[in-house]
């Protein structure tokens, strides 16, 4: 019969061998599931009437947004390539500016008509999706939006009849830019729908551009004032001319009229000249703007020096604050 010590040793060795066996034997690692073929394969052909996009992101929602962006970027590449190959520059459209407009317009496109057709959780922090969008529905949406915007532009133009020269200039400038922004949509629609007559829309855009150019050419300023205001009116004239506006001696223009008053004040040993400059803006004898300005200058005994310094300070104010704020005019500047 084995003694107690011998039994204890045998039990210890058996236990040690058992745990050694457990440690030595490892379970085979779980098989990593291969990625679905569609993740690395080319996207389906878009000739079937659908557009496709695919992306991988940190979650499903982010992956959908990225897939839609992928769809839009591929659409943009197609449009740009088609534009370059077809040499669509015409009329007021400049090649480089149109390319920039296409890129800008494409980036603003929002695709709401889409369906997630494939999705796969790549890992605990990655998700892959593929989306598709019906071309016909997408193009119809673009067409509807195009016609809505063209109608809004035309209605705004019609409402300008009888308004003053500055209102017409500002509005037509804004509407010309809005019309130009339609160009990417026109090119996208014509690329996706070969039956679309883009000439009508291109003519609309060019017509609005030409209407603004005609309005800009007809806008003229006549700047006048009393004898003491000559230096101030010169500063106003220079600013308008430097910003590309037509300054004329003809009274058949938007009139900017300046009138001046002055007063000499004594404040201790210092003398200060206070100049009041009253500016009025007229179109066809209708007052459409203006402002009263107070200018203070140190008086050194020379009235000419006071007005010279005041004119310099007015010019500085116009350059720093803008002519609209300084003289009370509403003029759209670049």
pTM above 0.85, yes or no: no
Q: Which of 107, 109, 76, 101 is nearest to 202 (CA)?
A: 101
Regarding whether 165 and 225 lie in a shared domain, the answer is no
Residue 10 counted as domain residue:
no
Residue 38 counted as domain residue:
no
Regarding whether 228 and 321 lie in a shared domain, the answer is yes
- The conformation of residue 307, written as its DSSP 8-state character, comes to H
Q: What pLDDT shows up at residue 1?
A: 46
Low-confidence ranges of the chain (pLDDT < 50): 1-2, 10, 13, 18-19, 22-27, 89-92
Residue 314 counted as domain residue:
yes
Regarding whether 156 and 68 lie in a shared domain, the answer is no
- Domain end position, chosen among 100, 134, 168: 134
Regarding whether 240 and 193 lie in a shared domain, the answer is no
Answer positive or negative: Cα dihedral of 3, 6, 11, 14.
Answer: negative
- Domain end position, chosen among 182, 200, 218: 218
Regarding whether 173 and 233 lie in a shared domain, the answer is no
Q: What is the 3-state secondary structure (H, E, C) of 194-229?
A: CCCCHHHHHHHHHHHHHHHHHHHHHCEEEEEECHHH
Total domain count for the chain? 3
Regarding whether 142 and 120 lie in a shared domain, the answer is no
Regarding whether 253 and 188 lie in a shared domain, the answer is no
Regarding whether 290 and 248 lie in a shared domain, the answer is yes
- Domain end position, chosen among 134, 164, 182: 134
Given a contact cutoff of 8 angstroms between Cβ atoms, the answer to whether 261 and 275 are in contact is yes
Q: What pLDDT shows up at residue 310?
A: 93
Q: Residue 112's domain is classified under what CATH number?
A: 3.10.28.20
Name the residue range of residue 193's domain: 137-218
* Residues ≥6 apart with Cβ < 8 Å to 129: 54, 55, 60, 63, 64, 67, 116, 118, 119, 120
Question: Residue 236 and residue 311: Cα distance in Å, rounded?
Answer: 10
Question: Residue 281 and residue 167: Cα distance in Å, rounded?
Answer: 13
Q: Which of 271, 272, 290 is nearest to 280 (CA)?
A: 290
For 77-125, write each residue's pLDDT tens digit. Answer: 777 776 666 655 444 455 556 667 677 777 777 787 899 999 999 988 8
Regarding whether 248 and 179 lie in a shared domain, the answer is no
Q: Residue 313's domain is classified under what CATH number?
A: 3.30.160.150
Q: What pLDDT shows up at residue 106?
A: 73
Residue 231 counted as domain residue:
yes
For 119-175, write each residue's pLDDT tens digit. Answer: 999 988 899 999 999 988 888 988 999 999 999 999 999 999 999 999 999 999 999
């Amino acid at each position: 019969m084995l003694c107690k010590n011998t039994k204890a040793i045998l039990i210890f060795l058996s236990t040690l061998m058992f745990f050694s066996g457990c440690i030595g034997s490892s379970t085979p690692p779980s098989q990593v599931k291969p990625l679905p073929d569609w993740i690395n394969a080319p996207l389906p052909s878009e000739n079937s009437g659908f557009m496709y996009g695919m992306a991988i992101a940190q979650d499903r929602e982010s992956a959908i947004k990225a897939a839609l962006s992928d769809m839009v970027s591929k659409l943009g590449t197609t449009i740009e390539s088609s534009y370059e190959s077809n040499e669509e520059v015409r009329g007021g459209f400049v090649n480089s500016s149109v390319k920039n407009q296409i890129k800008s317009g494409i980036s603003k496109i929002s695709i709401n008509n889409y369906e997630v057709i494939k999705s796969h959780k790549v890992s605990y922090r990655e998700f892959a999706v593929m989306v598709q969008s019906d071309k016909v529905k997408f193009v119809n949406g673009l067409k509807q939006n195009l016609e809505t915007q063209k109608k809004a532009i035309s209605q705004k133009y019609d409402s300008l009849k009888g308004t003053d020269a500055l209102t017409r200039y500002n509005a037509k400038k804004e509407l010309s830019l809005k019309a130009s922004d339609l160009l990417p949509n026109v090119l996208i629609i014509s690329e996706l729908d070969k039956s679309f007559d883009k000439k009508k829309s291109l003519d609309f855009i060019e017509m609005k551009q030409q209407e603004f150019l005609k309005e800009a050419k007809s806008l003229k300023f006549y700047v006048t004032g009393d004898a003491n205001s000559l230096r101030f009116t010169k500063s106003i004239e220079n600013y308008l001319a430097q910003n590309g506006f037509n300054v004329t001696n003809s009274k058949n223009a938007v009139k900017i009229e300046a009138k001046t008053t002055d007063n000499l004040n004594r404040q201790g040993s210092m003398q200060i000249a206070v100049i009041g400059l009253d500016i009025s803006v007229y179109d066809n004898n209708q007052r459409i703007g203006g402002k009263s300005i107070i200018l203070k200058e140190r008086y050194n005994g020379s009235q000419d020096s006071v007005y010279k310094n005041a004119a310099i300070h007015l010019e500085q104010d116009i350059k720093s604050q803008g002519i609209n704020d300084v003289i009370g005019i509403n003029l759209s500047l670049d």
